[in-house]
């Protein structure tokens, strides 16, 4: 790929992610959190995890365990939001990797039949069988990999 094409691709990717940047010091991003969202709040040296009950202009109320805690805005140093599970995405990635590896292994392991053969398959059929087998295993492994992460939505 020429340098000019590579530069154009990078600029397009940069333009695509630029709008995703948020202002982490804006309390309105905290006010926009949905009721029930799983968050972690840092106030000074203390970090509390829980679910959002309500957010006002000057406070945040969490359900932390069986108790409710109110945090004034001026004491909140950091708010992290728990992201969604990516099981479907991980499963598709595992499927793709497993299918590619299975196809390569199946094609490489193919042997032509020289005598009496029970299964007389072609190289393509062996590659397809490997892709199906390892693709299924890869999809299962991908779905089992945990990938929830925390995203910072506010910082004072």
Residues 20-48 pLDDT 10s: 555 677 888 898 999 999 999 999 889 99
**What is the rounded CA–CA span in Å between residue 42 and residue 40?**
7
Global pTM reads 0.54
List strand residue ranges (DSSP E) for 2-144, in order.
38-43, 46-55, 59-64, 67-72, 78-82
25-29, 35-39, 73-77, 125-129: lowest mean pLDDT where? 25-29
Domain with CATH 2.30.30.520 in the chain: 3-82
- DSSP lists the bridge partners of residue 41 as 48, 79
Backbone angles phi, psi at 48, to 5 degrees: -125, 135
Neighbours of 108 (CB within 10 A): 11
Whole-angstrom distance, CA of residue 50 vs CA of residue 72: 16
Give residue 12's pLDDT.
52
Q: Is the pLDDT of residue 150 over 90?
A: no
| Contact present, 147 and 106 (Cβ < 8 Å) | no
Of the given ranges (20-24, 45-49, 55-59, 67-71), which has the lowest mean pLDDT? 20-24
pLDDT score of 9: 55
75 pLDDT band, cuts 50/70/90, is: very high
Q: What is the CATH number of domain 3-82?
A: 2.30.30.520
On the question of pLDDT at 13 being above 90, the answer is no
DSSP H or E segment with residue 112: none
């Amino acid at each position: 790929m020429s340098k000019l094409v590579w530069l154009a691709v990078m600029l397009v990717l940069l333009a695509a992610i630029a709008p995703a940047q948020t202002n982490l010091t804006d309390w309105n991003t905290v006010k926009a959190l949905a009721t029930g969202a799983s968050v972690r709040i840092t106030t000074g040296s203390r970090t509390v995890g829980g679910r959002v009950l309500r957010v006002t202009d000057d406070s945040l109320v969490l359900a932390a365990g069986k108790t409710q805690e109110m945090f004034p805005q001026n004491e909140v140093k950091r708010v992290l939001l728990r992201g969604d599970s990516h099981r479907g995405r991980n499963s598709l990635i595992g499927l793709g990797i497993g299918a590619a590896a299975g196809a390569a292994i199946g094609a490489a392991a193919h042997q032509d039949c020289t005598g009496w053969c029970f299964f007389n398959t072609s190289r393509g059929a062996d590659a397809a069988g490997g892709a199906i087998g390892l693709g299924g295993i890869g999809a299962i492994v991908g779905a089992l990999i945990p990938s929830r992460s925390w995203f910072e939505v506010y910082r004072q």
